[in-house]
Amino acid sequence: MKRLHLDDVVESSDTEALQQKVRELSAQLEEAEKRERDFRRLEASLLMGQVQTVEVIVGAIEAKDEYTRGHSRRVAELSDMIGAILKFDSSRLWKLHIAATLHDVGKIGVYNTSLRKESRLDDREYLQLKEHPEIGERILRNVDQFFDIAQVVRWHHERYDGKGYPDGLRGDEIPIESAIMCVADAFDAITTKRTYNKPRTVEQAIEEIMEHSGTQFNPRVVDALRQALLPNKLNSIQFEDSDFGYDFEIPDASI
């Protein structure tokens, strides 16, 4: 029987065509990898631009209202923790972080006398301060990179029972991101020194917020806050001998 050689199966021209195809595919793959690298660099550049823009805006807010110094950062950090407990993906967490950082941006449009008053606000001043979520939305929706979070900021003072402002939304009508910021904002207000009240402990703040779960606050968010800030303590965990290996006995703690 005659043995077949490669040359008998594949003509020289076919081999050259195959090699050319391989070279073309390799070049296309290289170009695709380059485009992906360029896209990642652009994405990183846009992200840094977004961060710098946020820092400038927050600086403007803090310059106008001494109380807000550090408040936006704390609300954003606690919102991040709650979002993580609620299993937000990274993209959604980032948007939540930016929205929470900018939740008080509308205070730029509020009179300094209302922001810096050391006693409780009168009715007129309170009504004027209540406009800051709407002002914040108007500011953010005119910036392309913040358009998606504008309404989230607008609704961060809505209440679960529908008695909030500015639109009187209730229950699940309120975006979960807005509900998270509402809880984080309240927690920071309770635990931060104000001219009209002393700061309370984490435990006291959580207890107060839990008392208003289902009325002022979304119960899911309140539960996530509790999980984020009150993890199980070692002394609250009970073990039995059967939880361990064969013939294991838990030592007597009194020995």
107, 117, 193, 233: the active-site residue: 107
Residue 95 annotated to the active site: no
Q: b/e for 201-229, b at 16 or more Cβ within 10 A?
A: eeeebbeebeeebeebbbebbbebbbebb
From the number of C-beta atoms within 10 Å of its C-beta (0-12, 13-18, 19+), residue 189 rates as middle
For tokens 């509790």, the residue is 226
Q: b/e for 75-109, b at 16 or more Cβ within 10 A?
A: bbebbbbbbebbebeeeebebbbbbbbbbbbbbbe
Residues classed as catalytic: 107
